[in-house]
Amino acid sequence: MGKIKQNYMILAIDTSCDETAAAIVMERKIISNVILSQIEVHKPWGGVVPNLARQEHQKHISQVIDLAIKRADSLRKKFKLGKKVSWQNIDAIAVTQGPGLAIALEVGLNKAKELAKKYHKPIISVNHMEGHLLAFLGLNAKGNGPLAKTKILFPSLGLLVSGGHTQLVLVKNIGDYQLLGETLDDAAGEAFDKVAKMLNLGYPGGPIIEELARTGDPLVFDLPIPMIYKPSLNFSFSGLKTACLYKLRSIQEKKKNKQFYADFSASFQRVLTKSIIIKLKKAIKMNFPRQLFLGGGVINNLYLRNEIRKLAYKWQIPVFIPYSKNLISDNAAMIGIAAWYQAQKRQFVKNIDVLDRQPNLSI
């Protein structure tokens, strides 16, 4: 197996949930990262409606891909990328196979297959969670990023907290992972969204709750810390969600003033974070990771991030977070980064006709 060519160029596609996303990456460099959010479409329903997600992906996928190529090419001179960003020079197509919403994943997969056949390109199928896990390896078009100069060390630990997943992953090598723990019911982001819905705050709930919590007292409401006495590294947030519901029912409407919303948000955020920190600490004690990698939309939460940093500091473990918000939440650039590591091992899809979505794909 000869050395893979320099400046290997991947077009990456992700349609796993409610973002239609396409990106151009050259090795670890992210040249373009187009994300079309469907938030406004799902907002009235207080959560993602699979059928609507599929329709929206279908409507916009071609445009999003064209824009990713065009945008990347327009930056070619500025960042001295050399070759033109065009179908002629794209080396492979990366696409999310799962996990995610079946009918949403299907749109991206079908598009990837169609383009692979039309332009005679290989396909690299990617696990969405591996994308979140390796997103911190992404560099900007100038080649700067959290791991531009430092080396990745093993074993390391990944903490992935999103709207669909909450996972602790032991990284033995790139491509060699062990799932240490995951949520047994709701994901952390889902809990944020559902509690926000109970409070009539809007969707998605995470950023709204974080903002309200800033002026709240986290000790006003006594909520249970999930899974505190369970020895496993799994998470569970549905009990906390139910506890929130009962607590809210017990409070008179007239007492629900501005300060109430702030205090409730802060109290909920504190116990949810505490639960994550307890499991993270356990995972660190058991595995002595050399680095900690964070990913997934909930990692945008600065309260959670600070608590993670405090814990990691105590254990002298460096923490790596993707360099931009657009790499933390759902996006296609992270799929391109994960695909670049597969390309180096020549892990291409052998028969694209049988490539199928895997909604429950595990890491």
Residues touching Zn ion: how many (CB under 5 A)?
A: 2
Give least dist CB 268 to ligand KG4, A: 10
Strand, coil or helix: what is 64? helix
Euclidean distance between CA atoms 103 and 53, whole angstroms: 8
Nearest distance, CB of residue 133 and ligand KG4, angstroms: 12
**97 in contact with Zn ion (CB under 5 A):** no
Give the span between the Cα atoms of 218 and 226, in whole angstroms. Answer: 16
Q: Is 136 helix (H, G, I), strand (E, B) or coil?
A: helix
Is residue 193 involved in binding Zn ion (CB under 5 A)?
Answer: no
Q: State the DSSP string of 14-44.
A: E-SSSEEEEEEEETTEEEEEEEEE-HHHHGG
Q: Please give, one letter per residue, the 3-state secondary structure of 201-222.
A: CCCCHHHHHHHHHCCCCCCCCC
Q: Which does 336 bind (CB under 5 to 8 A by kind): ligand KG4, Zn ion, none?
A: none
CB of 22 to ligand KG4, least distance (A): 16
Asked if residue 178 lies in contact with residue 133, where contact means CB atoms within 8 angstroms, the answer is: no
Contacts of 43 (CB under 8 A, 6+ apart): 202, 203
Segment contacting Zn ion by CB under 5 A, of 28-36, 89-97, 151-159, 324-332 = 324-332
Stretch that binds Zn ion, among 119-127, 144-152, 159-167, 231-239 (CB under 5 A): 159-167
182 binds, among Zn ion, ligand KG4, none (CB under 5 to 8 A by kind): none
Task: Rule CB under 5 A: say whether 267 interacts with Zn ion.
Answer: no
Q: Is 330 in the site for Zn ion (CB under 5 A)?
A: yes
Shortest Å, Cβ 76 to ligand KG4? 29
Which tokens sit at 209?
């709750």
Using rule CB under 5 A, residue 190 touches Zn ion: no
Instruction: Please choose which of ligand KG4, Zn ion, none residue 210 contacts, taking the beta carbon within 5 to 8 angstroms, the exact cut-off set by kind.
Output: ligand KG4
For ligand KG4, give the closer residue by CB, 162 or 287.
Answer: 162
Residues that bind ligand KG4 (CB under 6 A): 17, 162-164, 189-190, 192-193, 204-207, 210, 296-298, 300-301, 329-330
Closest distance to Zn ion from the beta carbon of 129 (Å): 7
Q: Where are the beta strands (DSSP E) in the chain?
A: 9-14, 19-26, 29-37, 92-98, 123-127, 156-161, 166-173, 176-182, 292-295, 319-320
Burial of residue 92 (CB within 10 Å: 0-12, 13-18, 19+) is buried
Residues 112-151, mask of contacts with Zn ion (x by CB under 5 A): ----------------------------------------
* Tokens 């959560």, located at residue: 47
Distances (CA, A) of 107 to 25, 61, 131, 149: 21, 8, 18, 37
In the complex with Zn ion, the residue whose CB is nearer, 96 or 267, is 96
Site for Zn ion in 22-41 (CB under 5 A): none
Residues of this chain that bind Zn ion (CB under 5 A): 162, 330
